[in-house]
Structure formats: C-alpha cells, structure tokens
Structure 1
Amino acid sequence: MPLPSSIDDAIVLDGDSVFLAHPMPFSYPETLGYLTRSNEEVLHRVTDDGRILKLLRIKDLPLLVELAHEPDRDGLRIRCLSGSCASERLREAAGYVWDWFGLDADVEAFYRMAARDPVLSPLILRHSGLRIVGVPDLFEALCWSIIGQQITLSFAYQLKKRFVQTYGDSLEYEGERFWSFPDPAVIARLSADDLRPLQFSRNKANFLIGVAREVAAGTLNKAQPELRGGFDAAVVRLTALHGIGPWSANYALMRCLRYPEAFPIQDAGIHQAVRKLLNLDAKPTLAQLRELYAPWAGWEAFATFYLWRSLSD
C-alpha cells in the first residue's frame, strides 16, 4: 500500500483490530529500545517477542490494546484485548499510537540537515528510523516533567510507578495488571500530604496538584490557542504554571505538543551525551551547548532525542 501522508490515509479497520500504516523512515526496534529503557515502567509492557501492551482510556473507558509490527506491510497491527472494540474506539487508539510514535513528523527533513553535521550524522546512521516517542496526554507530560526535576531518571521512574499504582485505573488481563495514568480530576482533589508518603517533596506534590486542578477545570488543555499559536507563546503559557520552569516547559513542548525547536538545555541527559560524544573533561556549559545546537536551529527536539539515545550506545 502507498505510504501514508496523514493518519486518515493510514488506518484500515479489520474486525477487533486496526492496521496502521506508518510512514518511512520508521524503526520499530529503535522504538522498542526506547520503550524498554527502564524496568520500572508501568504504563506499557513489551513482550519478549516485541509486542507492546498498553491500557488506554478512550472516551473515558478503558481499552487494553496490543501493538505488533508487520514489517512486510510497513505498519502496526493494533488489536483490542479488553473493553469495547467499537470501530470509533479503535480509530482513536490508532490516533493515539500515531501521536505516541511521532508518525506525523518530517524525519527526512531532519536527516537532510543532520547528514551534514559531524556530531549528528553518525547518530542518524546508527539509529535510522528513530522518531521522538512522545507523551500524547498533556497532563501526563507535565506530570512527568515535574516528577523528573532534579532527580535521577531511575528514581523518577520509581516515583511515577508509585503515583500511577496509587491513583491510576487498572485492568487485569490473563493474570497481569495494566495501568493507565491518573485522571487529573482525581489528583486535583488531593493535598500535598496525600503524596508525601510516596516520597514526593512537598513542592513537587503541590506542583502536580496545581497542574491537575488547571486541567480538571478546563483552563489548560492541548488545543488551547496559547499552546498552538507558536513556540514562544506556548513557553509563556506553560511557564506561567506553578512549578513549570524552562526545562519542564521545553520537555512537554518536545514530547507532547511536538514543537521541533523545543530545547530543554538544562537536561542532564543532554549534558552527559555531549560530554561523551565530544570527549569533554567536564560537562558542557550552557554557552557551549548553545553553540553546538546553533546549526540545528529548528530541529533541537530531534537532536536532543538522538543525543539521549546515544547514551545507550
């Protein structure tokens, strides 16, 4: 079948499953590599044979899906495992996956730029087809950016797991339990004292609850003109939230709102990757990072994702 230019061209419904054709380049193994970077991940499960199981909430109802790659057809088979398998819910599930795996992005344009760059060119050859694996839900993206502030990635995953398993919804399937991210309305009703036993600092607890209250009240959502009207306006809107600084805002703009110029310059992973790739004696300064990233203007988010990936090389 011809390569899809949009999700409307990509979906073929088939009983209790939907086939989602993916544009090229796309690497399913690279995607799995990112999804399996932590054993503490609680929001999806990757099987030994490479299938992905994830509990979604579609129209406020649970839907457990299984994703399997069909490389001979350049696509993904999304199968309904539990919950209503109505065609409109399968379409929404396919839309989630399209967003989650960044299938709308013009990766080839990034590659044309990166192929001329001495730092990025080896990375795009080594990890060809890697796309920015995103966080489609804005509340989840902002929570993850708050949880990850000033702690190690491994501890951030532990905190997220406790948060999800305490306040998220779950579903049991074939003896295993699957979880979805907490509803903002649930978190909005909490106090900081409720989150402290999970090892959240009081500040982080208040930040999470504050964002939850904005989302639950409808004053913050992904479709807002302030978030869709350009990168600078989106940064202003997010950094107006209590607890969302430039790093958290750029993280959410990169992984949820899909701004290619998003650049979380304070990110420790960027610093580690650049120090490793350039054989620096110390972590780079912000001035050095700005100089390095200058030729990548407009593609900072993609460069960042590939730098993160290089940490596993």
Structure 2
Amino acid sequence: MMNTNKRIYTELPRQCLPANAWVDNKKELILHTEQPFSFSQNLHYLSRSNNECLYQIEGDRLYKAIPVDGDIPVVEIRADDDGQLSVRFLGDAPPPNVRAQVAQYVYDWFDLGTNLTKFYDLAQNDALLKNAVASYYGLKNMGIPDLFEAMSWGIIGQQINLTYAYTLKRRLVESFGQRVEHAGRTFWVHPAPQVIAELTVQDLEALRMTTKKCEYLIGVAQLIVEGKLSKELLWDGGDCKKAEKKLISIRGIGPWTANYVLMRCLRMPSAFPIDDVGLHNAIKYVQGTETKPTKAEILALSSSWTGWESYATFYLWRFLY
C-alpha cells in the first residue's frame, strides 16, 4: 500500500538549507535568520484569517503538523529574537532524517534563503513600495513548500473572495486530509495528491466547489502521482517563463494560478501575478484612486522591479490585511 504521508521536501537551488544555518538539538531545532527578518511581521501575515486550518497561532507562537518521510511531527515555532527561529517538537524527537526535513520545510516556508537588502534598496525610491518596506520591515514572502498544496490553493482561490476560499480549503482538508491529535489538540495535514488522485468529482460534491475546480484538483493530483508534475520539473534551471508555460499547459491553470504557484512554492523571484485583484486593489490604495490600473500601467509602475516582482506583489498585498 502506498504511504500517502511520505513527502520529502527536496532542496531546490534557491532554498537549500546551508549546514551552518541550523543547529540540531534533537527536541529543538535552531534556524539562524539572516537580517532583515521580523518574526512578528510574518506571524501577522499568517494570522490574516481566523479560518486557517493547517496551523494554529497562540500569542507569539506558531503550531503546525508537518508531514515528512512517513512521519507527522507537530512543532512549535517561536522567535525569542529575530536572529533565530526555534522549532520545538511537541512529541518525542523524530529520527535525524525527519528533523532535517522539518528544518528544510521551515526554512523554505519562511523564505529564509532570500536576503532582502537589494529589494529594500530598490523599494526606497519606488512610489508604490517605499511605504510598504518602511511599515512592514522584515516581512518575508511566506510560502507553501508542498507543490500539491500550493496548486490546490491556487485552484480553490480562482475567481472567489479570500474568505470563501478559506472555507473551501477547510472543507477539503477536513474531508480528505489527515488528522493528528496531540495533548488534546487537533492538527490537520493537507490531503496528499495520492488521496485526491483516486477520487471522482462526485466524491468532492460535498465541498460545494464548482465541478470544474473539482476536475482541476483531481487532474493536478494525478499528474503529480504519475511523476509528470513536480517542483524539480518546474524548476529546470530557474527559468520563470518556461515554468509558467509548463503550468499553463495543465487544464485549469491560467497565468494567475501559474504565477501564484511559482511565487509561493517555487520561489521564483520574477513570478508576477499581474492579473491579481488583490494587487490591483493594493495599487489603488497606495495611489488613492478608485480606478483599477490597466495592465500597461502596472507594467510601467513595475519597470524597476526586475527580479523582485514576487516580493513587490507580496509587500503590496500587505496593505490589504
């Protein structure tokens, strides 16, 4: 029988966790954070919805079940200072290979491999970004390390508001994901592609998603299970346009979803969801206008963002929550 929890977070070039960037104390991992970094800014982003089901926040601490290599450890993440993250296992310390993958997951999730200095330099002279970087200093592009989870979230969020997207996500997770109990608390793990790949549209009817979205989810899950879609195949040297083209060739994936996945999962800095409604609303907010910017206007406004489009988008979104 296939182990649907066996997920290994491979070390792609931009997100490889350096050996000197973390310390393995068995029950607790220490991840060193390159400045500028603000745990509180990132925690604020993660707390933007009270309907989030894949992690829990209590005060200044973050709790999550992370499925890796057949194990699902539950961790507490905190930062006594912004120079390091502490990742504490709430149960027994898992084996060394699992600890290493958990460290890799958290490193990727918080995008600790990206130094923001150059982005801040360009943003200081940018009309749209200068107030954002001053107000949200140390915010990282919080990611979605698991490809199927990122693809699912992109598909679910197509043409609906964020509140309803979180409702659909919870239904999907609680219907087909895994439940982990620890000390009387329940933690949920996103459904593995192997689970969704075996379903029919009728199996997903109770979620109240459109038939098309159900078909898209199942189709993407099947591609991943068949080995036709993976982070490695998409990365292919880090060519963003090439990766976007591969994703758009998949049924149900358009430019917005493709760039969202490349931005949040593959960490491609040039990924740019230019058609994103949230981006348009953020630009309207910063400029103090009621008119939606045209694509030509956005391209002109973003002309200096080359290589940082994904971060510019993420920082502009911050004005909306």
**1:262/1:225 Cα in 2 relative to 1: closer, same or farther (>3 Å)?**
closer
In the TM superposition, residue 226 of structure 1 has moved relative to its aligned partner by 5.7
**Corresponding residue for residue 13 of structure 2:** none
Contact 2:30-2:87 at 8 Å conserved across structures = yes
Determine whether 1:55 maps to 2:59: no
- Alpha-carbon distance in 2 for matches of 1:79, 1:256: 24
Deviations 1:225-250 (A, max 9, x none): 66444111101111111100000000
- Alpha-carbon distance in 1 for matches of 2:92, 2:199: 29
- Alpha-carbon distance in 2 for matches of 1:161, 1:302: 27
- Matching of residues 89-100 of structure 1 within 5 Å: 89-100=98-109
Determine whether 1:260 maps to 2:269: yes
RMSD of Structure 2 on Structure 1 (CA): 1.5
**1:10/1:150 Cα in 2 relative to 1: closer, same or farther (>3 Å)?**
same
- Specify which of 168, 175, 180 is matched with residue 184 of structure 2: 175
**Corresponding residue for residue 186 of structure 1:** 195
Q: What SS does structure 2 have at the residue aligned with 1:296? A: coil
Q: What SS does structure 2 have at the residue aligned with 1:78? A: strand
**Corresponding residue for residue 44 of structure 2:** 33
**1:6/1:186 Cα in 2 relative to 1: closer, same or farther (>3 Å)?**
closer
Unaligned runs of 5+ in 1: none
Deviations 1:190-222 (A, max 9, x none): 111111211110000000000000011111111
Q: What SS does structure 2 have at the residue aligned with 1:214? A: helix
**Corresponding residue for residue 307 of structure 1:** 316
Amino acid at match of 1:249: A
In the TM superposition, residue 90 of structure 1 has moved relative to its aligned partner by 1.4
Amino acid at match of 1:272: N
- Specify which of 148, 155, 162 is matched with residue 171 of structure 2: 162
**Corresponding residue for residue 17 of structure 1:** 28
Contact 1:226-1:237 at 8 Å conserved across structures = no
- Alpha-carbon distance in 2 for matches of 1:228, 1:38: 35
- Alpha-carbon distance in 2 for matches of 1:60, 1:154: 32
TM-score between the two structures when normalised by the length of structure 2: 0.92
Amino acid at match of 2:134: L
Contact 1:228-1:234 at 8 Å conserved across structures = no
- Alpha-carbon distance in 2 for matches of 1:226, 1:249: 13
- Matching of residues 51-200 of structure 1 within 5 Å: 51-71=61-81, 74-82=83-91, 85-200=94-209
Q: What SS does structure 2 have at the residue aligned with 1:60? A: coil
- Alpha-carbon distance in 1 for matches of 2:124, 2:55: 33
* Percent identity of equivalent pairs: 40
Contact 1:227-1:237 at 8 Å conserved across structures = no
Unaligned runs of 5+ in 2: 1-15
- Alpha-carbon distance in 2 for matches of 1:252, 1:195: 23
Q: What SS does structure 1 have at the residue aligned with 2:232? A: coil
TM-score between the two structures when normalised by the length of structure 1: 0.94
- Alpha-carbon distance in 1 for matches of 2:109, 2:92: 21
**More relative contact order in 1 or in 2 (CA 8 Å, sep 6+)?**
2
